Amino acid sequence: MSRIGPYLRLARAGFVLAREGAFGFPEAEAMSARAGPAVRLARLVERRGLGEAERADRLTKALNRLGPSWVKLGQFLATRPDLVGRSFSLALGRLRDEIEPFPEEEARASIAAALGKPAGEIFVSLSPPVAAASIAQVHRAEVVQADGTRRALAVKVLRPGIRQRFRRDLETFYAGAHIAVRRPEMQRLRPVEVVDTLARSVSFEMDLRIEAAALSEMAEATASDPGFRVPSVDWARTARDVLTLDWVDGIRLSDLSALKAAGHDLPALARRLMQSFLRHALRDGFFHADMHQGNLFVDVEGNIVAVDFGITGRLTRAQRRFLAEILYGFIRRDYQRIAEVHFEAGFVPRHHAIEDFAQALRAIGEPIHGLPAREISMARLLTLLFEVTELFDMETRPELLMLQKTMVVVEGVSRSLDPDFDMWASSEPIVREWVERHLGPAGRLEDAAEGVGALGRLMVALPVLADRAEKLSLDLARMSERGIRLDPETVAELRQSDARAAWPTRAALWVIAAALVVLVIQLLR
């Protein structure tokens, strides 16, 4: 039963989704001839008379009915229009982690088990749940400080039994992914790796100490940022299943009427949100990857306050450079440079021509630049880019999907605050600052310094490498005596070969070192 269990659960989920119209989106109808009959069969059980809007609504309800694991899967697939199609992705993008809370008594029991004391001894007050999601729920609490004043806190408590539930459902997702990967056209989209990424993301979310660490890191990185902050973590009252942090008194970014009544400048908030996100992604290589309106507040001083750091994203220096050059290239309409960056990163197979790729990028960029500000959409740009990826045999880049998804969400929130929000004008100062700082003379000097440092570390390691080579040579000699039979001439030749190979390596290292010294001198002139 254990082997067929995931497939039975997959079949049940497939029926529920088919019933609620999941296979009625245009992308499903346009599937290949092999998948067509299966899609038509699935649509036989679909509720009649569903329009696209109603189908999207019923799909989100179906995923909620299947459980928190399926809600997470739906949210994750919403970031993959290349995998599920644009209209299906937009429907899944409506999913929010707003589900029924679990009883307060269970939350108190979890707090006691995690922190070693009854909740009544830890907090002077603990409210019923004020928000509930698929992984955890939040309570408002208070503690008495040393000076006798009360401090308001938010206490996030993991759902009881959620780890076991996710473990079981992940088996079902893997079963579906292994079925999908048998189709040649699905291999490029790497469905098994999609589930791998989802599994890693969820495992991080279910350890609230990891979220606490993310909050702490973001607080340090943004300490001097204008108009943005995150709440402080109460580490003494935080454990794997409980996260305690400062309570945020503010207005949700979704409550436009309350923001206006409080006198906040909504277009300024829209610009600040986009610029904060880009600053975090480019400068720090670390960003909040779930920046929808429910996770963003505005405090009385007009600061944007971000909460719920269960999902974060990271970018390497190379990925940050890629992002900055792509955005800057579109801002300046330099399609040749955008194409070159893709080829330099190895994202486009070398059998394609840079000029052809630049031409395709121009076909994407020029129509967007000709539009009024309110119609320039990052979502549209990324959709067109996804179409180009297939044309040029580009594999999906899982490490950039989180960034792309978050950028689209941030743009959507910014447009809700300001319908005339200009994505490019808001992005340009942050992107230009990063490009000038890191791709100008100072940035080249840093790159040279990093190269010299790497060379120094390699040279320090040379004695160790030499020792290992000598040990390998001795091992080979022993093997010739005890195990694998090598004649003495062969062993002697191997030793001589090691010695001969070491001289070109040393010579090459000194040539590289000399070249780097010359480069540094040139940059300092």
Task: Tokens for 469, please give them.
Answer: 């080579």
Amino acid at 222: T
| CA atoms of 487 and 479, how far apart (whole Å) | 11
Overall residue count recorded for the chain in this entry: 525
**What does the block give as tokens for 43?**
């649509």
Strand-pair category, 228-229 with 304-306 = parallel
Q: Which residues are designated catalytic?
A: 290
Structural tokens at position 282:
């480019």
Helix (H, G, I), strand (E, B) or coil at 445: helix
Residue carrying the six token digits 């590289």: 512
In this structure, the number of other CB atoms found within 10 A of the CB of residue 60 comes to 18
CA pair distance 211, 232, nearest whole angstrom = 12
DSSP 8-state symbol, 394: P
The answer to whether 305 touches 276, Cβ cutoff 8 Å, is no
Per-residue DSSP letters for 327-378? HHHHHHT-HHHHHHHHHHTT-S-TTS-HHHHHHHHHHHHHHHHTS-GGG--H
Residues 82 and 396 sit within 8 Å (Cβ to Cβ): yes
Whole-angstrom distance, CA of residue 142 vs CA of residue 247: 9
Which residue carries 């079949």 as its tokens?
Answer: 11
> In the structure, how many helices (H) and strands (E) does the chain have?
23, 10
Q: Are 204 and 210 in contact (CB under 8 A)?
A: yes
Three-state secondary-structure class, residue 313: strand
d(CA 524, CA 448) in angstroms, rounded, equals: 11
| CA gyration radius, the chain | 28
Alpha helix locations (H) across 232-288? 256-261, 266-279
**Which alpha helices (H) appear in 123-231, and where do they start and end?**
162-180, 184-187, 191-205, 208-221
User: Which strands sit side by side in the sheet containing 251-252, from one edge to the other?
Assistant: 228-229, 304-306, 296-298, 251-252
